Amino acid sequence: MATIWQSLELLIVKGLPTTILLTLGLLGTGLLLGFIIAFAQVYGYRPLRWFCRGYEQLFRGIPALVLILILHSGLARSFNILLPAFTSALIALGLRSSAYQSQIFRGAIQSVSQGQMMAARALGMSKIQAIRYIILPQAFRLSIPPWTNEFSSVLKDTSLASAIGVLELTKQGTLIFTRIQFVMGVKYILVILILVAFVYLVLTYAGNAALGFLENRLRIPGFEMKGKVER
Amino acid sequence: MKRALLAVFFIGLLAVSGLAQTYDVASDTTWPPFEWADAEGNLLGFDLDVMRCIAALQGFEINIISYDWDIIFDDVGIGRADIGASGATITDDRELKVDFSDPYWSSDQAILIRADSGLNIVTALSLGYTVGAQVETTGAGFIQGLIDAGVSVILVEYTLYPLAVLDLINGNIHAVIQDEPASVASATAEEELAIAGIIKTNEDFGFFVAEGDPNGLLPLINAGVAQLKTLGVYENLRLAYMGPGILAVEAAWKASIGLLDAGNVVDFAQSLADLANQ
């Protein structure tokens, strides 16, 4: 039993910080790039729209693990670009997440009705002002629920970084069960894997709860949201 | 103020880099008794302590990194890590990617089976049974050689050795092939497992660096291994890691590592061997 607690402690001390750092890095990269792409896809000139559409299709169409391997092993071997494992994972998964997030923001922007833009222009606002003060505040609120979903999937995607040796939760778990099987028996591999799963579960739950709280706080009662929101 | 801070930072950086060169050592730390992580996450094992002692004697610093076995030769080969210390047999295929040091350990392959399976080393490898091995190991190569020669045996490869052992216990495969000391560790830990026999392959383990040895490390490593043997350090590390068991050597390591940190290589190895075999 002591060993199990020790293993959990080791997961939290040595694996968790990297997982959290990578998750935050990915969400940040994805948020920034995704927002720019969504904006360009909705309001950009045609060639820019084509480019963004290609980008989004490309990075949504390649499995995350393949993307990581291309960046970490492929580029290194062929072009001698030696990125550290953490950086490779951050870039590969960040590009992937930006493509997904761009679609969240695009959908949110486009779900604000055209009439509002026209009304704002009729009131004398410039296009930029209308986007800034009318469209985005609504789109931002609308994008929180799907963004919560993206958070959950990005968090668990970080486990793929273990494939190139990033010492995060999953990889730390394999190091622990390697030892545990010699000390307590091979059946304890299951116990360690459940511990790893438990840590991800708690993280996902905590993140979703925080984003749910944000969603609730920013809600404008009675405004345009037709479904009943229960919290 | 900012500029002053920056200056201090750079002077600090220079001072640190001037002290001793630090090299990244890549190791697949899922393979007791050669390399693994203890309950606190400290990395230890025969290979790692031999490397630590060499570094202390030859005056360079090392930083050990947990690596996946399937990318370790590629990554050392392209220079992402400087030294490989991972119980690696010297083979011609691997020589294409990396340069090896002089041999520091000689190993044979062992066949691990379930004790109640009634198999022996001949039947396990010739009657169409399934044998597990870690991917790209010499053990996997040996089974592939049998298959190529027309022997009736099936090879299943795993990225991690512990998962092959788990599959053996679960009854999904009939045997596991891998180096003798690690097989002994598995058979000791699991009552259900037994060693069916040893295949005398006479493999030599070597440390490895990128092709052409760009950092000039091989002469230092080779000189270090020779020094460890004359000082008796090598024999003490062998006594500590090959035999007493994982818990005994972990406790001994924790009690002794301070000596190595202080640069006292000989006393460290002596203390490790004495405490582990108490």
pTM of the model: 0.85
Is residue A98 within 8 A of residue A34, CB to CB? The reply is yes
Tokens 């091979």 belong to which residue?
A186
Q: Report the percent of chain B where pLDDT is more than 90.
A: 81
Q: Is the dihedral of CA B214, B217, B222, B223 positive or negative?
A: positive
Tokens of B263: 């640069």
Q: Which domains, and CATH codes, for chain B?
A: 19-104+206-276 (3.40.190.10), 108-202 (3.40.190.10)
Asked if the model's pLDDT at residue B4 lies above 80, the reply is no
| Interface pTM, i.e. ipTM | 0.81
Which residues of B fall within a CB distance of 8 Å from A178? 29-32, 36-37, 160, 162
Q: Report CA-CA distances (Å) from B223 to A104, A184, B7, B218.
A: 60, 39, 39, 8
Which residues of B fall within a CB distance of 8 Å from A68? none
Q: In 3D, which of B36, B31, B53 has the Cα closest to residue B237?
A: B53
Q: Which residue of A has its CA nearest to B169?
A: A186
Asked if the model's pLDDT at residue B8 lies above 80, the reply is no
Asked if the model's pLDDT at residue B9 lies above 90, the reply is no
In SS3 terms, chain B reads as: CHHHHHHHHHHHHHHHHHHCCEEEEEECCCECCCEEECCCCCEECHHHHHHHHHHHHHCCEEEEEECCHHHHHHHHHCCCCCEECCCCECCHHHHCCEEECCCCEEEEEEEEEEHHHCCCHHHHCCCCCEEEEECCCHHHHHHHHHHHCCCCCEEEEECCHHHHHHHHHCCCCCEEEEEHHHHHHHHHHCCCEEEEEEEEEEEEECCEEECCCCCCCHHHHHHHHHHHHHHCHHHHHHHHHCCCCHHHHHHHHHHHHHHHHCCCHHHHHHHHHHHHCC
Contact between chains at B39 and A10 (C-beta distance less than 8 A): yes
Which residues of B fall within a CB distance of 8 Å from A172? 41
Which chain A residues have any C-beta within 8 angstroms of a chain B C-beta? 3, 6-7, 10, 13-14, 73, 76-77, 80, 82, 84, 163-165, 167, 171-172, 174-179, 181-183, 185-187, 189
- Mean pLDDT, residues B13-38: 82
Write out pLDDT tens, residues B66-84. Answer: 998 988 999 999 999 999 9
Write out pLDDT tens, residues B187-200. Answer: 988 889 999 999 99
Note the pLDDT of residue A206.
Answer: 97
Give how far A160 is from chain B: nearest CA, Å. Answer: 13
Tell me which of A13, A172, A180, A181 to substitute to probe the interface with B (most B C-beta atoms closer than 10 Å): A181
**pLDDT one digit per residue (tens) for chain A, 231 residues:** 678 889 999 999 999 999 999 999 999 999 999 999 999 999 999 999 999 999 999 999 999 999 999 999 888 888 888 899 999 999 999 999 999 999 999 999 999 988 999 999 999 999 999 999 999 999 999 999 999 999 999 999 999 999 898 999 999 999 999 888 888 887 888 999 999 999 999 999 999 999 999 999 998 876 655 555 555
B46 alpha carbon, distance to own chain's centre: 7
Report angle CA A62, A158, A30 to the nearest 5 degrees.
65
Q: In 3D, which of B45, B100, B54 has the Cα closest to residue B228?
A: B54
Taking CB atoms and an 8 Å cut-off, how many pairs form between chains A and B? Answer: 82
Q: Which domains, and CATH codes, for chain A?
A: 2-218 (1.10.3720.10)
B11: pLDDT confidence band, cut at 50, 70 and 90?
low
- Mean pLDDT, residues B149-167: 92
Report the 10 Å Cβ neighbour count for A90.
22
Give how far A85 is from chain B: nearest CA, Å. Answer: 9
Is residue A83 helix, strand or coil?
coil
Asked if the model's pLDDT at residue B16 lies above 60, the reply is no
Contact between chains at A80 and B78 (C-beta distance less than 8 A): yes
Note the pLDDT of residue A40.
Answer: 94
Which residues of A fall within a CB distance of 8 Å from B35? none
Contact between chains at A186 and B74 (C-beta distance less than 8 A): no
Overall residue count recorded for chain B in this entry: 278
Tokens 């025969």 belong to which residue?
B46
Asked if the model's pLDDT at residue B183 lies above 60, the reply is yes
Of A13, A164, A178, the CB nearest to B36: A178
Pairwise pLDDT comparison (B218 vs B186), residue with the higher score: B218
- Mean pLDDT, residues B141-157: 95
- Mean pLDDT, residues B95-114: 95
Note the pLDDT of residue A137.
Answer: 93
